[in-house]
């Protein structure tokens, strides 16, 4: 049995090895009629994939051609000109300057972050002339060599003292010439001289050497235990690429705290370190989980500036606008907020999205009503006009622009506007009804919808949908009854993780919404912004969002 076990182990190891000589960022042309043309494919993380045609141009194509030994590109083609590829779509919205050695070095959405399909694969036709230059590239060995120089702690001409509260904790020596070649290191070594002092928190001392080593090799392994300290060091010493990278990793940490303390603390930290990436990640999570936030103890500790930002967002997940207003009422009452701050928040509430019954009840069950009576009466009147006057007249006589935020529904999760299906459900089909529109003018009419979760190509066929092999898993949503031609719909699907938080929000393109990977394990799909530890979404919730099709400001 031992030899057999060794054979299996050898096969397992051999099966996971990268092809000899192939590394991330290498490119090739596939399915062309000659060596100088074909579909662009790029290698990453052990496999080949394609590039989406979005923003694909001759500059991008020339980067591919020159990397493959040709002088330039003559054509940059989209629409899978040489046939659709297979596997993941590696890059989307590629924007090159023309000097990069690979598309991997160009600006893009990032590896495997794309909603494209293979019928949108990019292709090139290169000139037949080759450059006559052949390159031996051993630069991949350089990071390890630079790390060895750092680890040797010999031949140094820069001495770094690491201090915690004025106490020396660590001494490191470095090399000016190597650090001077890396823009990420310029914030560490600002002044001429041979000595640098780093002031750090005690908890971050163990990560300082990792940070300096990164400035040598430009690569680093980041764990969940080290990410915050590395982010602090990168922020303090202007290592912007490392700062941004760590900022994105916080998306893994934030959902792990159901009390919402972690995202609120990280939001304050992002403001203090002026990190817009981390700030947006925190605000996005809180917006998608706003309904749960208002029920948490941490709700009353939400700072006014953050609450203003949240209430400004259309993609705010909450049962209804009335629930939102009551939460703001509680927040302002418990915090003893100033009159001006409360008015600023009330201005962000979308009163037209409340039905007349709820608007009438505000004077009886809203504590801030009488202290802000004039403003609330103005908002209620605005909402009642929306509910009772046809939008053509509102546009004609008031010049009302119904595309303004106040007239756009948020992501309302009450049964009035949403329906859910479980990913593990035996019956993934749901039929439901919603009002045609939030306006009371449409109270007597409803719209029928059909929702189905399609995890496989076979399930598409079973339910009569025409899907390509790249589509599943997906959600299918269809409208099965008449609705007014003046009304359109921008529907969304909320992807719930283990029933505890919303991990992502996706839109419908036509009748379908492609579901991203919950944990990045499906290499052919983009990954949800906030990954699910279980590796799958537990529930899909569709939210119906009607809007008037006509921009009233342009009407006669």
Write out pLDDT tens, residues 253-288: 889 888 999 999 999 989 988 888 889 999 999 999
Q: Is residue 279 in some structural domain?
A: no
All residue ranges of the chain with pLDDT < 50 are 1-18, 522-523, 551-556
Q: Does residue 15 form part of some domain?
A: no
Q: Does 363 share its domain with 424?
A: no
Q: How many Cβ atoms are within 10 Å of 168's Cβ, its own excluded? A: 10
Residues whose CB is less than 8 angstroms from the CB of residue 387 and which lie 6 or more positions away in sequence, other chains included: 352, 355, 356, 439, 440, 441
User: Could you tell me if 549 and 421 lie in one domain?
Assistant: yes
Domain at 248, CATH number = 3.30.710.10
Residue 432's H or E segment, with its range, is strand 429-435
Res 311: pLDDT: 97
Phi, psi for residue 307 in degrees, rounded to 5: -65, -40
Task: Examine residue 462 and state whether it is found in any structural domain, yes or no.
Answer: yes
- Measured distance CA(225)–CA(465) in Å, rounded: 46
165, 53: one domain: no
Domain boundary among 388, 423, 438: 388
- Same domain for 502 and 437? yes
Domain co-membership, 296 together with 254: no
34 and 106 share a domain? yes
DSSP labels, 487-516: EEE--EEEEEETTTEEEEEEE-BTTEEEPP
Cβ-count burial 72-96 (b if 16+ within 10 Å, e if not): ebbebbbebbbebbeebbbbbbbeb
Residue 2 included in any domain? no
CATH number at residue 62: 3.10.250.10
CATH number at residue 349: 1.25.40.420
Query: CA separation (Å) from 177 to 23, 161, 215, 234?
Result: 28, 19, 12, 20
> Which structural domain range is residue 70 located in?
27-126
Asked whether residue 548 is domain-assigned, the answer is yes
Q: Say if CB 188 and CB 208 are below 8 A apart.
A: no
Q: How many domains does the chain have?
A: 4
For residue 396, the model assigns a pLDDT of 73
Spell out the SS3 assignment of 101-164: CCHHHCECCCCCCCCCCHHHECEEEECCCECCCCCCCCHHHHHHHHHHHHHHCCCCCEEEEEEE
Residue 85 three-state SS: coil
**Domain final residue pick, 267, 302, 321:** 267
Residue 68 lies in a domain: yes
Same domain, 504 and 457: yes
Q: What is the pLDDT of residue 21?
A: 66
Residue at which a domain ends, from 126, 152, 178: 126
**190 within some domain:** yes
Q: Is residue 353 within 8 Å of residue 438, measured between CB atoms?
A: yes
CB count, 10 Å around CB of 404?
Answer: 12
This prediction's pTM: 0.70
Same domain, residue pair 430 and 547: yes
- 546-548 and 487-489 as β-strands: parallel, antiparallel, unpaired? antiparallel
Are 416 and 488 members of one domain?
yes
The pLDDT of residue 20 = 53
Structure tokens at 277: 């990436």
Q: How far apart are CA 211 and CA 235, in angstroms?
A: 12
Do 549 and 422 lie in one domain? The reply is yes
**193-203 burial, b if ≥16 CB within 10 A, otherwise e?**
eeebebebeee
Residues 84 and 177 in one domain: no
Q: H helices of 220-289, where? A: 227-236, 240-253, 261-273, 276-288
Is residue 59 one of the residues assigned to a domain? yes
pLDDT at residue number 2? 43
Residue 332 and residue 367 share a domain: yes
């Amino acid at each position: 049995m031992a030899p057999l076990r060794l054979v299996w182990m050898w096969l397992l190891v051999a099966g996971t090895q990268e092809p000899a000589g192939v590394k991330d960022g290498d490119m090739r042309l596939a399915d062309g009629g000659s060596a100088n043309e074909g579909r662009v494919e790029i290698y990453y993380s052990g496999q080949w994939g394609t590039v989406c045609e979005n923003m694909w141009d001759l500059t991008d194509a020339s980067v591919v051609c020159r990397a493959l030994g040709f002088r330039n590109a003559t054509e940059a083609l989209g629409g899978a000109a040489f046939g659709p590829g297979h596997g993941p779509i590696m890059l989307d919205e590629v924007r090159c300057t023309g000097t990069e050695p690979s598309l991997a070095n160009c600006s893009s959405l990032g590896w495997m972050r794309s909603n494209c399909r293979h019928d949108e694969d990019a292709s090139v036709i290169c000139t037949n002339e080759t450059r006559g230059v052949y390159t031996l590239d051993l630069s991949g060995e350089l990071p390890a060599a630079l790390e060895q120089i750092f680890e040797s702690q010999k031949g140094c001409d820069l001495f770094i003292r690491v201090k915690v509260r004025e106490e020396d904790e660590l001494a490191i020596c470095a090399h000016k010439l190597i650090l001077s070649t890396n823009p990420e290191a310029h914030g560490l070594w600002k002044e001429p001289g041979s000595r640098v002092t780093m002031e750090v928190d005690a908890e971050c001392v163990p990560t300082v050497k990792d940070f300096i080593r990164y400035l040598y090799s430009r690569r680093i392994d980041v764990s969940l235990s080290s990410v915050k300290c590395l982010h602090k060091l990168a922020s303090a010493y202007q290592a912007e690429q490392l700062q941004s990278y760590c900022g994105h990793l916080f998306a893994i940490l934030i959902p792990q705290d159901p009390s919402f303390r972690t995202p609120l603390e990280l939001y304050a930290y992002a403001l203090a370190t002026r990190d817009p990436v981390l700030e947006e990640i925190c605000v996005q999570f809180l917006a998608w989980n706003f309904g749960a936030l208002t029920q948490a103890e941490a709700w009353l500790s939400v700072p006014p500036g953050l609450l203003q930002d949240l209430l400004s967002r259309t993609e705010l997940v909450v049962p209804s606008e009335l629930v939102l207003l009551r939460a703001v009422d509680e927040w302002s009452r418990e915090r003893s907020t100033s009159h001006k701050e409360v008015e600023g928040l009330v201005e962000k509430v979308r009163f037209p999205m409340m039905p007349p019954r709820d608007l009438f009840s505000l004077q009886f069950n809203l504590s801030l009503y009488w202290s802000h009576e004039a403003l609330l009466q103005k908002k209620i009147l605005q909402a009642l006009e929306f509910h009772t006057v046809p939008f053509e007249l509102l546009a004609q006589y008031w010049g009302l622009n119904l595309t303004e935020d106040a007239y756009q529904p948020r992501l309302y999760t009450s049964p009035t506007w949403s329906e859910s299906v479980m990913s593990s459900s035996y019956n993934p089909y749901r039929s439901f009804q919603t009002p045609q529109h939030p306006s009371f003018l449409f109270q007597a009419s409803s719209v029928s919808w059909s929702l189905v979760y399609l995890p496989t190509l076979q399930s598409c066929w079973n339910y009569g949908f025409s899907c390509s092999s790249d589509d599943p898993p997906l959600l299918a949503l269809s409208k099965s009854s008449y609705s007014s031609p003046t009304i359109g719909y921008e529907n969304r699907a909320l992807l719930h993780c283990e029933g505890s938080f919303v991990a992502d929000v996706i839109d419908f393109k036509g009748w379908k919404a492609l579901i991203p990977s919950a944990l990045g394990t499906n290499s052919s799909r983009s990954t949800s912004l906030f990954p699910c530890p279980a590796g799958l979404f537990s529930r899909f919730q569709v939210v119906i969002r009607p809007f008037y099709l006509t921009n009233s400001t342009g009407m006669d």
